[in-house]
Structure 1
Amino acid sequence: MALHAQVRTRDGWAVQHAVVTVTDMTGTQVLRADAGPDGVVSSATPLAPGPYTVVVTAVGYAPAARTALVGAGGRAELGAVVLARAGGVELPPPGAWTLDPAHSSVGAVAQHLGISSVHGRFTEFAGRIGIAPDIVSSRVEAVIAAASIDTGNALRDKHLKSPDFLDAEAYPEIVYRSHGLTPAGPDRWTVHGTLSLHGISRDVDLDLSYLGTGPDPWGGTRAAFRATAELRRDDFAMHYNQVVQAGISAIGTTLRVELDVQAVQGDGLPAAL
């Protein structure tokens, strides 16, 4: 293929029916191609060597432009082209929102043997988001059952629940409560909060992306968010490790936390929250 690109949103979803327009340095259009349902744009039309301007557009998204330099092979490989929603997205209405565990995930990733990753998730959690009229005054709190860790391996999960790691019997709940919010873009914020884990409380920031609000099939309104953070196990007194060879530990000292959250408008939390 002479032209190839993958058009995606910032959170990784394909942008269907995006249009890629290629112009030469005189401003003459030399190529136009549409993305398919998977966001992939490809064209077999060869391009003469030289520089080109590539503009990617899609309804509801801000256009993206970049320069492509085509070599003797006549190929323009654009890779992933990320489109931002036009004007950001409309913020959720103020009020109480309840996390929907059935359509949310709380995961963590750790490096294993220095060459791969182990993915885990917590299967029991609840949370509440309070959207304030002044968005930076909004708050979030969440409680996770430590014993609900699931990595797909029963022996590993048992070890993770033990005093070497989560010590789920002594510290059954992992709690996060925010105390501030800083804008980081049209639909992005840094959430400042306190994480209580393994009997220790420390300030932890979340990088939060707001994905939008809309009606659901059950007559409610829901909002979607994605958030990430990095934690050091040593900060929470989880020092266990096994060195398998010089300089390489069985389990990495840093965890990447990945949250995909849907929240339903209204306050339907259990009494414990």
Structure 2
Amino acid sequence: MSTTALETQLPAGTWTVDPSHTEVGFVARHLMVSKVRGYFKDVTGTVEVAEDITKSVVDVTAQIASVETGSADRDGHLKSADFFDAENFPVMTFKSTAFDGETLTGDLTIKDVTKPVTFDVDFGGVGQDPWGNTKAGFEATATVNRKDWGLTWNAAVEGGGVLVSDKITINIDVQLAKQA
């Protein structure tokens, strides 16, 4: 979508993440033959939409302890020092550095390691909920190497390969609420 079309549909101002209608998820290969999906249940953030949409700023935080994969054992392992080390690094953050209407680039910080990530963005539109609140929706996807953030735990499996892929896909489906 062109930045001009996005600017005409998305009013400038402060927008907040609507946590009950937002999912910050990830997908990893398990045993290199199947996919495991997870998400962070506790996500907060703001988007400062500028009149010039390319000057908009995104600032999002996910609580590591809120990770959910459908397996309590796996969730516990992800929270442990083998992966996210939630006790010592309780949050993951993303702060944007550039937006062109189709891609969002910013600094992703996990375990106090900050690396740039670029998301492909799809604008879902703007609408009113039944209570008169203005909402906007976006989907964003990026692929990263988890080792770039020190998430290096793995185990070799019989026949070759490893238990967890290095390549992780981040999928975000976010609904924003316009602040008065």
1:205 aligns with 2:118: yes
1:214 aligns with 2:132: no
1:101 aligns with 2:19: yes
1:1-273 equivalent positions in 2, closer than 5 A: 90-183=8-101, 189-266=102-179
Letter in 2 for 1:92: L
TM superposition score normalised by structure 2: 0.94
Letter in 2 for 1:238: L
The root-mean-square deviation of aligned C-alpha atoms, in Å, is: 1.6
Q: Matches of 1:150 and 1:214 in 2, distance apart?
A: 29
Letter in 2 for 1:112: H
Q: Matches of 1:264 and 1:220 in 2, distance apart?
A: 7
Letter in 2 for 1:250: L
Letter in 2 for 1:96: T
Q: Matches of 1:257 and 1:209 in 2, distance apart?
A: 14
Find the residue that maps to 1:261 and give its secondary structure. strand
**CA distances 1:223-261 after superposition (whole Å, capped 9, x unpaired):** 000001112111001111001124311111111010000
Structure whose CA Rg is larger: 1
TM-superposed CA distance for 1:88, in Å, is 6.1
Q: Matches of 2:89 and 2:81 in 1, distance apart?
A: 10
Q: Matches of 2:83 and 2:144 in 1, distance apart?
A: 13
Q: Matches of 2:84 and 2:5 in 1, distance apart?
A: 38
**CA distances 1:178-206 after superposition (whole Å, capped 9, x unpaired):** 011124xxxxx111100110120111111
> Identity over the aligned pairs, expressed in percent?
37
Find the residue that maps to 2:147 and give its secondary structure. helix
Q: Matches of 1:216 and 1:233 in 2, distance apart?
A: 37
Letter in 2 for 1:93: P
Q: Matches of 2:145 and 2:131 in 1, distance apart?
A: 40
* Structure 1 runs (4+) greater than 3 angstroms displaced: 87-90
Taking CA–CA contacts closer than 8 Å with sequence separation of 6 or more, which of the two structures ends up with the larger relative contact order? 2
Bigger share in helix: 2
Q: Matches of 1:145 and 1:218 in 2, distance apart?
A: 29
**Unpaired runs of at least 5, structure 2:** none
TM superposition score normalised by structure 1: 0.62
Find the residue that maps to 1:165 and give its secondary structure. coil
**CA distances 1:97-140 after superposition (whole Å, capped 9, x unpaired):** 01100011111000011110000011001010111101100110
Letter in 2 for 1:224: G
